Structures are given as C-alpha cells and as structure tokens.
Structure 1
Amino acid sequence: MKRRDFIKTSALAGFGLSMGPSWIKAAEGLEAVAITQGPKAHWFGYYDKFQVDPSGRFALGCEVGFEGRSPEAPDRLGIGLIDLEEDNKWIPLGSSKAWGWQQSCMLQWIPGSDEEVIWNDREGDRHISRVVNIKTGEKRILPEPIYALAPNGKFAIGTAFNRIQNLRPGYGYVGIPDPFQSVKAPEEIGLYKIDLRSGEKQMLLTIAELASLPHLDKDVSDNWHWFNHLLVSPDSKRLLFLHRWRPEILETQVMARTGFVTRMITCDENGKDLYVADPSGNSSHFVWRDPRHIFVWTKPIDKEAGFWLLEDKTENTRLIGGETMTTNGHNTYVPHTDNEWVLNDTYPDKERKITLYLYHIPTQRQVVLGRFYSPESYFGEWRCDLHPRCDQQGKRVFFDSTHEGMRQMYYMDISRIVGN
C-alpha cells in the first residue's frame, strides 16, 4: 500500500479553524498522515488499548468491504499489521467474525510485548480470543473472549458479549444468541478473569450478584442487567467496569442508545473489595490515571457534568478542564507526560465536525489539533468516532476518521507540543 498524501489539518485544511485564537496558532503546521486507504474501510476501534507496538513501527488495524449497516454473522473482519516504516505496508494477520463498529474485535498489543497481539473471534458456537506472534507466526487460542488486558500482561478480564449485544446492540457480537435473553439477571454469566498464558478462567462476579445490590437505596433487581466497558488499573490490582440495566427489553434502536442506568464499580483482581465508585448513574468514558484515581466523564450527584477525577474507595472528586472540556469525549493521558497532558475528542457538532484536541492540566490550556468532518451517513451504531489513542512513546496520536468520505486511519505528530 502506498502512503497517501498528507492531509493538512491546520487552518488551511478547511476543517473550520480560524486564525484568531491562540490555541489554533499552536496547532499550525500539524498534518494528519493517512496510514490506510480504500477501497476497503479501515479502523482500529477503542481508545483505551495499544494500537502501536513498543518500538513505534507497527500499527494494528481492521478492514472490511462495506459500511453503513450492522455486522451480520457471516461478515468477516480482516486483521492486519501496518508497517509505518515501509510505506504503510499492510501485513495480513488473520480475521474475525466477532466484531462491531465501535470496539472492533478488541484488537490490541499484549502489554509489555513487542511480538504478541490478541483479538476476539467466533469459532463454532462460542466466542474465543486469538493470540498471534508477529515474529514467529505462532498462534494460540484462548477459550474465552477478552475485553481488557492487565498492564502486567498476565491476565485479561471479560464478560458475555452476546449479553451486551442483546441489551446494547453494537457493543457486543452477533452470531451467537444470548442464552439468557429471557433472564433479567443471570447467575451463570458476569465478570471473569482469564490467564493469558494458560487460558484458565475464573468467574469473579455474576450479573445476579450486582443486580441484588441496591442502587441509591432502591431495589433494582427487577430490570435487565449487563456489564460493559471493563478496564484494569495500572498496577493490575483493581478492576473497573460499568454495571448497566434497563427496565424493558429493546424494541427500537433508539432504546439501544438510551433508557439505561449506569453505575461504575471497582473491585480487586479476585472480584472482592467491591466499591461503587460513581453511584450517580451518569458514568461514561473513563481511564485510570494511576492505581488510585479514575478520570471519567460523569455528572456526580449534586455536581455539574464534566470530566472528573475520582479517588477509588473514597468520595474525593476533582473537576478537570471545567472551562474547556465541556462535552463528553474519549479521554486518555498522553504517555510520558506525568499525566499532565490529556488527549480527547468530541462528538460531531451541528456542522458535523469532530474536534480533536490536547489539554494541559497544569496551565488549563487547550491545543486543538484539528476538526474533522463526519458525513451524515455515519450515525448510530456505525458512526465513526475518532477514538484517539497515543503510541506508547507519547509522540503520535492515531485516530479513525471519515473526513475523506470513508473510514480510514491517520496519525499526527504531537511530540513538539507535549515535549516527548
């Protein structure tokens, strides 16, 4: 694959940036470099996973030959490696039949490894995960799908993706029906832990257990419950997930996006020491800042909506970027900046433009990297959020975008801005 021409994202690129405010001037000269091109659509997936290997040379990606509809059981997703030093050459790694537009197939590098990558797949009547060594070609199968990996590279956590698909279409996988679709709070499924080497599985918490836990002193057991958005703390000792429920089974796609309640839960790596980190019902996108703090978009009880820093197992909270980060987005910390720099995006505004930006916490300074047009055809389940993620060096931002008319992947060099 040949490298595409650089796409200007400064004021001259036509993404709606004016030359007035200082934060626009700070972004002058930046370029969005395309690393994939048509005729197939390409993207990575979620924002809280390693797309780029530790050396910075290889980026992971997915490709598919259609857009604008939900995946169907036969649809196979191509998995590839992009050599950023060899004209963005696409190197096929395999495929998956367990994927969605928002989080793809949980494709990612195993933390601490420059050789092994992992993704979810469907084999027969079960979901699995595949591990591939890009250097030796060795392949192995784990008996369960993964959702998030521990930073120590030793284990993953997961939940039932067919349950998610049943209650929040687009975030689970088609092809295998939820066997408990008539049960509001199953005892058989929930949060599990799987050893990345042996494949041994340990059930940590069941959906029934969490459904029996009152919410703001009210019984919520008589609802349809599921788990979503799992993450492991930087020291691999605490787990974080969203427990969600809705009063009725889905009847329309609108209900798939609304009508549910959320509470953020933490526990230790064995499912013990449970704590409701955010009981407000408003938790959305989040990352761990360090082993004790969670950076999340929410509206805490009796407080304003925004990005809040919550201290685990306490009621301590602090608003971050209250004057600038005023809308929900996909937030992460830029590596090797002592958690001073935040990378974030927005949803499309009225002009269908998505803003990609950095925020410097000590100086409360925003640096807009670009605004990217999202065609109206990208909406709902198959929308294309930027889902920005840094490489492991904290030098480049990689993101998915449709500003050239179809879903492709790009990167921008931010090293001169953040000092990496």
Structure 2
Amino acid sequence: MNKLERIIHQSLEGKPALRNTLKKIYQASLSIVPTTNINEENVVVRPNCFYGFHNLCPWSKDNKYLLTHRFQTPDDRLPEKGQKIEVGVFFGENHQSYRKITETNVWNWQQGAMLQWLGGGHRLILNDWKEGRHCARVLDVSGEGVGEFATPVSAAAPDGSSFVSFCFDSLSEGLHGYGYAYRATPGRRKNLGDRLLHIDCATGEIDTLVTIGDVLKLSPRKLPAEAFHFFSHCLYSPSGKFLMFFHRWKSNTSDLGTQVVIYDFEAGRAHVLPLGEFVSHASWHTDRYAFLYAENTEGVRGYFLVDCLLDNARPMAFEGLGCDGHPQVLAQSPRAVTDTYPDRFRMQKLYVMDLERSACELLLSLKIPFRFRDAVRCDFHPRWDRSGQYISFDSAHTGVRSHCTIRVQ
C-alpha cells in the first residue's frame, strides 16, 4: 500500500461498505496488468490443502509431520452445513507424502478447524460438531481418538496441559469468515456474559478466566456496551505463563474495534495493552514482549514491539514494508516472518524480518487470482518450522488454494 492508498484507506474508516466497494473496483481493474512472480520456483505446492492461521504451528515438535486440511469443495465459497473437511499430515522427503487422520464438520478458510499439536508428541486437537454443540477432539496421527471435550479449542498451551476456549457462535457473528456453518445459537444476541474459558486436559475441569463484562471494566477507554462484543485470536506465551487474546467489538455504523488483553495465569488477573482501537495481528516474541501490527495511542499505525510488563509500545520501522500483515516470531530468535495483503496488482508478498536490526528481506512475491478475496481470501499466514529453515504458508497463486513451503536461505 503506497502513501496515497493509505491516506484514502484511512479516510474511509467508519465507512466499511464504501471502502470495500472501492477497493474491489480498484483491484479488479488492475488485476489484469501483467506481473512477474518472485521466487516461485522454490515453492513446494500441495494442492487442495491449507493449514490456517499464523498464530499456530503446523509442524510437530520434531518436525516429522506437517498438519493440514484437505478439501474437495469449491475453494472460493464459504463452507456450508454438511461439507466436511479432511484432516491429515504430510511427512517424508519435503513433506510430500500424505496420510489422512480424520474429518470434521466445522471449519473455515481463515483458521480451518483450529487444528494444532497438543504438547510435544504426535497428538493433535481440533474442533468438531456433535449433538448440537461445538466440541474439541484429540487424536494421534494414526487417527485413533484419545479424548474429547465439550468445549471447542482456540489455543492449546505449549506443554499440552490445557487449552482456552470462547464462544465460536459469537466469533461467527462478529468476524465474517472466521466462524462455522454449524451454530448452536444463530443470530445476534446479548453476549456481555460471554466467557473466556480455561480447560485442564487431564481433568476436564473448566474455569472462567474473564467475561466480556470484566474486560469492559478493565478497558482504559469507554466502550459502547450496545455494540456486539466478542473474543478472538488467543495465543499462549512461549512458557505458557501468559495468554494474549483480542477483545473486539463492532456496530452497524463503524469499523471493527480491538484491544489486546494479557492474562497472567500465576497472578490470576488481566490487563489491557496501551494501544489504539486498531489491532490486526500479533505474535509473542518472548514471555515479556509481543510483536504486532497495530495503532498506538497517538494514532500511528505500524509494527510495534510491546513490553507487556511495563506497557510500553516501541515502533518498529522496516524499510519497504509499511502495511499490515500476519507476523510470526521464530522461537528463541530475533527473526520473524510476515506477509502482506494483495496490492493493487494482486501481488502478495512474504518477508523475513530481523527484529534486532529492524531489517526485512523480500522472500517471495506471488500473484493471487481476484476471486480469492474478502471472506474466501487466501492469506499466506506464514508459519516457521521448528528449526527456522522452512516456512509453511497457504497460497492460491496456482489458481487452487494450496499448502506450500519454502526453504529460507
């Protein structure tokens, strides 16, 4: 996004319908301009597959397996009731051999079925629909069921001892394209009592961490109680001592509002990070620092490194990278990876970042067909492998949504 585009985009805040219409016309008219992909020849493509969001890792702790969703439905339409998706793993040389594990009834193109590894072994957890409710199932890579929980999973603790959950019906209502076709409570409702839950995997015990009402009281700003509020984007810190999550709200006349909340498990309390009402995506750097794309309290947007203990947000400027993306920081490292949304020519980019030097390097640039947009867009959502040598990402540059990997030189 160049400077003029950014000015126009921000001037249309509060008018999402008009902004999205103008964006659609703008990109459609320029998508026919010839462009050249960069580094496409080094991409390993697994068609009709995708993983999902950037805040999870599809690689097992030993890097042996690569989790994936495999679909047979049209990949430019939202999933409907009755359309199951297959879950499996890639393994072997370049992770190109495939094994089916199971199927699930609930999924979407952005986050899949919240498929993720549970602890350091080869057990996985994912969401499903059973007896009129969302639930979470635990399996091993052979497909054998290991356990089941009456609440769906959002994020699992690094050691696999617990996970957190919230109301996915509220997520469906609040964030188009992120919810599920199956809903226990369809339609908008009063949801200030929605809870963020903590589930112990050994005992099944469920505890409430916070409610929407609790977070409204914690907020340093006065938020509209009449707006629709919901939780999203949960992520444990590397040690599992802290939880980052988004509290979001929207009304019929304004853009989505977001604040980032940190929950301290040892202290049993939460606090809101000192940022503006625009926060898009985040990743933990260490237990103390979060790396995210957001707006600070002065209204400046960009990447920030936030000290979650001292509540200090330090701007991070990366030459040539001035737009929103999906960052993921490599564990125990200053390296991060992020992507961009398609530009005016539908070119989508992947960057490797050095947080110590505030530097970034273009790794990949691919043209994404115009039909992959809005709720059925195909963001890269880049994810590091455990060694920092490969990056997993989803892409539709071939015309088919695919789970891809590329080696980082």
TM-score norm. by structure 2 comes to 0.86
1:108-143 CA deviation, whole Å, 9 max, x = no partner?
112322x20111111121111111112583432122
Q: Does 1:410 align with 2:404?
A: yes
Tell me, what secondary structure is at the counterpart of 2:305?
A: strand
SS in 2 for 1:163: helix
Write the letter of the residue equivalent to 1:392: R
Task: Report the residue type matching 1:399 in the other structure.
Answer: F
Preserved contact between residue 40 and residue 364 of structure 2 (Cα < 8 Å): no
Root mean square deviation of aligned Cα: 2.2
Deviation track 1:220-279 (CA, whole Å, cap 9, x = no partner) reads 22221111111111121111111111234xxxxxx8xx6221111112227832211134
Q: Residues 12-411 of structure 1: matches in 2 within 5 Å?
A: 15-17=36-38, 31-34=42-45, 36-37=46-47, 41-65=48-72, 66-85=74-93, 88-113=96-121, 115-134=122-141, 137-178=144-185, 181-183=188-190, 185-187=191-193, 189-216=194-221, 218-248=222-252, 259-269=255-265, 272-302=268-298, 304-335=300-331, 338-411=332-405
Q: Name the aligned partner's letter for residue 205 of structure 1.
A: V
Structure 2 counterpart of 1:361, one-letter code = L
Give the CA deviation at 1:85.
2.7
AA aligned to 2:330 is V
- Structure 1: distance between partners of 2:277 and 2:381: 23
Describe the SS at the equivalent of 1:162. helix
Q: 1:172, CA displacement in angstroms? A: 1.6
Whole-angstrom CA distance in 2 between matches of 1:87 and 1:214: 45
Query: Counterpart amino acid of 1:288?
Result: W
CA distance in 2, matches of 1:272, 1:380: 38
On the 8 A contact 2:327/2:336 being kept in 1, the answer is yes
C-alpha distance 168-303 of structure 1, shift in aligned 2 (>3 A): closer
SS in 1 for 2:93: coil
Q: Report what 1:8 is aligned to.
A: none
Match of 1:3 in 2: none
Any conservation in 1 of the 2:76–2:376 contact (CA below 8 Å)? yes
Q: How many residues align?
A: 374
1:301 to 1:198, Cα distance in 2 relative to 1, 3 A: same
* Secondary structure in structure 2 of the residue aligned to 1:285: strand
CA distance in 2, matches of 1:276, 1:214: 6
CA–CA distance in structure 1, aligned partners of residues 396 and 187 of structure 2: 37
User: Taking structure 1 as reference, are residues 213 and 138 closer, same or farther at Cα in structure 2, changes over 3 Å only?
Assistant: closer
Checking the alignment, whether the CA contact within 8 Å between 1:230 and 1:242 is kept in structure 2 is yes
**Partner amino acid, structure 1, of 2:44:** V
Residue 230 of structure 2 aligns to which amino acid in structure 1?
W
Query: What's the CA shift string for 1:332-372, capped at 9, x where partnerless?
Result: 1124xx43211111000111011111112334432211101
- The answer as to whether partners of 1:205 and 1:271 remain within 8 angstroms in 2 is no
In structure 2, the CA distance between the partners of 1:33 and 1:110, relative to structure 1 (3 Å rule), is same
Question: Does the 8 A contact of 1:30 with 1:413 survive in 2?
Answer: no
Q: Write the distance in 1 (CA, Å) between the matches of 2:299 and 2:217.
A: 27
Structure 2 residue runs without a partner (length 5+): 1-34
Query: Does the CA contact (< 8 Å) of 1:306 and 1:322 recur in 2?
Result: no
TM-score in terms of structure 1 length: 0.83
Deviation at 1:144, TM superposition (A): 1.0
Looking at structure 2, the residues matched to 201 and 388 of structure 1 have their Cα atoms a distance apart, in angstroms, of 32
1:181-219 deviation line (CA, Å, top 9, x unaligned): 321x332x3200111233221111112222344552x25
Tell me by how many angstroms 1:180 deviates. 7.8
Letter in 2 for 1:89: S
* Identical amino acids, percent of aligned pairs: 26
Change (3 A) 1:138 1:262: closer
CA–CA distance in 2 between the matches of 1:56 and 1:259? 40
Q: Give the residue type in structure 1 aligned to 2:406.
A: M
Could you list the structure 1 runs, at least 4 aligned residues long, displaced by more than 3 angstroms after superposition.
14-17, 211-215, 362-365
In structure 1, C-alpha distance between the alignment counterparts of 2:182 and 2:391, rounded to whole Å: 34
Q: Secondary structure at the match of 2:291?
A: strand
